[in-house]
Amino acid sequence: MKKRLFIFNLSVLAFLLFTSSCADKSQKTAADSKLGTIEVEIPQSLKGKPEVVEYIHDMNRIADDYAILIDQVLTDLSGFEKKDMENLSMMDKIKLMKVSSEVGFKSMDIMSKWGDYHNKMSFFKEDLTDDETLALEGVLKRFEERMKQIEKKHAKFFKDEEN
């Protein structure tokens, strides 16, 4: 009886290990969940350069953090798009100041990281082929795509007003 229980437990463990090892390794980020998935494409030729791959993932994480911050700010400001900014109530002014100061402080840290990583890009470019350099610059294109997702999600803030 103990032998059967041991074999059963071993079989279950082996099955769980097998299924977890075969699972999709691409991790969905918070920005992917909120705004839509954007794949990170890393060419095979960069697989042997872990510092460049790590750099690409770190830059994407920073871009996603900024996108989430902007998304949160626009969500918090929902309702302000129709208000006359010159005639806001005291509570609206307080809310606007609170959101503005929060985004200011949070974005300073993100932009500082972005600047540091952006400066590192020229260091990596020296040792890369043209295709690998395009992959590295793909981070910037991915950031632009994130901003387009935000613009689409919060279109009410980005409509051109007709006078």
Residues, the chain = 163
Mean pLDDT for 14-29 is 47
Classify residue 36 as left (phi > 0), alpha (psi -120 to 50) or beta: left
Q: What is the model's pLDDT at position 100?
A: 85
| Distance separating alpha carbons of residues 44 and 31, to the nearest angstrom | 25
User: Which residues make Cβ contacts (< 8 Å) with residue 112, sequence separation at least 6?
Assistant: none
pLDDT tens-digit readout, 47-60: 788 888 888 888 88
Which tokens in the block code for residue 104? 């200011």
| Distance separating alpha carbons of residues 4 and 106, to the nearest angstrom | 57
Mean pLDDT for 121-135 is 75
Mean pLDDT for 102-115 is 85
| Distance separating alpha carbons of residues 9 and 89, to the nearest angstrom | 65
Q: What is the model's pLDDT at position 159?
A: 74
Asked whether 45 and 136 are in contact (CB, 8 A), the reply is no
Confidence check: pLDDT of 135 > 70: yes
Confidence check: pLDDT of 110 > 80: yes
User: Which residues make Cβ contacts (< 8 Å) with residue 37, sequence separation at least 6?
Assistant: 28
* Weakest mean pLDDT among 40-44, 66-70, 88-92: 40-44
Q: What is the model's pLDDT at position 14?
A: 45
Helices (H) and strands (E) in the chain, counts: 6, 0
Band the pLDDT of 20: cuts 50, 70, 90.
very low
Confidence check: pLDDT of 106 > 60: yes
Mean pLDDT for 122-133 is 75
- ∠ CA 146-150-152 to the nearest 5 degrees? 115
User: Which residues make Cβ contacts (< 8 Å) with residue 13, sequence separation at least 6?
Assistant: none
Q: What percent of the chain clears pLDDT 70, i.e. is strictly above it?
A: 80
